[in-house]
Amino acid sequence: MSYVTGTAGSFAGLLEIIEAALISAGYTQSGQVFHKGGLYCRLWTDGIVLQAQGGTGVDGGNNLVNPGPHYVSMRPFAVAAFTWPAQYHIHINTDPDEVYVFLRYGAGGEFFQRLSFGRSSLPLPGTGNWYSATCGNANLGGISVTATTGGYTGTGGQALSGGLFWDTNGGSAQLTPSLLHHGLDGGGWTGITSASNVGGLASCPPSLAPLVATQPNTWNGEAVLLPVRPVIARVSSRYSCVADLAHARFVRNDNIEPAGVLTLGPDQWVVYPFFRKDIAGRIGSTTPIQHSGTFALAVRIQE
């Protein structure tokens, strides 16, 4: 099955469930690295943090070839200490291969964290392999997300958007939460600076911000599903799209319950908050907060 949900008692238990689901879906395991076709991702846990790191291959020692600059993670921060057992949602989709893991936790199940990886279907000099999570490999002070920006460094602590390719301010290298191997301009993986810097973050707000800001429709309260199309800055103030994800969409979840299912024609989509839904603070914030407004990611249940 491409979609499974249940409960896990720890990160070690969750990792075992993910590993079994990937193998069942046709992935090969080489040590901690899982690969299928040209997609490679290493998954591991120290019991406190669940980590992922992409690469472009695996060697005879089961080590990643050309790994991304650092790992990304699910990890406890601020008000979001993990409580177990917790509910998981796993999507393993194909054509192209995209994997999405969500963990729902907290006393009321209000918190969500995500770990995902896949391969861009667009023609690129690089492999197009990407990996992403709610957190980078450092602790956060909270969430910072609006319709036009994501991420914050300054007074009050460092923060990320919680969204897939939604960060525009990478801060330190350890914070960068979404990376892609593009190969443009002689480069490799996307950089660690802001989305406005050449070769910097792969980010969606430069192309999608106006559409996200106008959702949901004020007439009938509906919100449309918007494409996940991260771009990177190039020379001469130009941008290039480096991915067009097939199985994920952005949506404002003002009128959609966390982990609610939308049915659109033959497709079903599960809607996950970037971190925690807060209708009162729906527009988010440019400084650290402990929720993600009504910014959400919808992931397809693939038959």
Supply the DSSP string of 85-133, one letter for each residue: SEEEEEEEETTTTEEEEEEEESTTS-EEEEEEEEE--S--SS--EEEEE
**How many whole angstroms separate alpha carbon 279 and alpha carbon 277?**
6
**How many whole angstroms separate alpha carbon 46 and alpha carbon 76?**
13
Residue 209 β-bridge partners: none
In this prediction, residue 175 carries a pLDDT of 76
CB atoms inside a 10 Å sphere around CB 37:
11
Residue 212 β-bridge partners: none
Q: pLDDT tens digits, residue range 16-61?
A: 999 999 999 999 999 999 999 999 999 999 999 999 999 999 999 9
Please tell me whether residue 24 adopts helix, strand or coil conformation. helix
* Angstrom distances, CA of residue 249 to CA of 41, 139, 147, 299: 22, 27, 15, 6
How would you classify the pairing of strands 142-145 and 159-160?
parallel
In this prediction, residue 245 carries a pLDDT of 97
126 pLDDT more than 80? yes
* Angstrom distances, CA of residue 302 to CA of 37, 150, 265, 281: 19, 29, 13, 32
Q: pLDDT tens digits, residue range 127-177?
A: 999 999 999 888 788 899 999 999 887 766 788 999 999 998 866 655 789
How distant is the alpha carbon of residue 267 from its chain centre? 21
In this prediction, residue 173 carries a pLDDT of 53
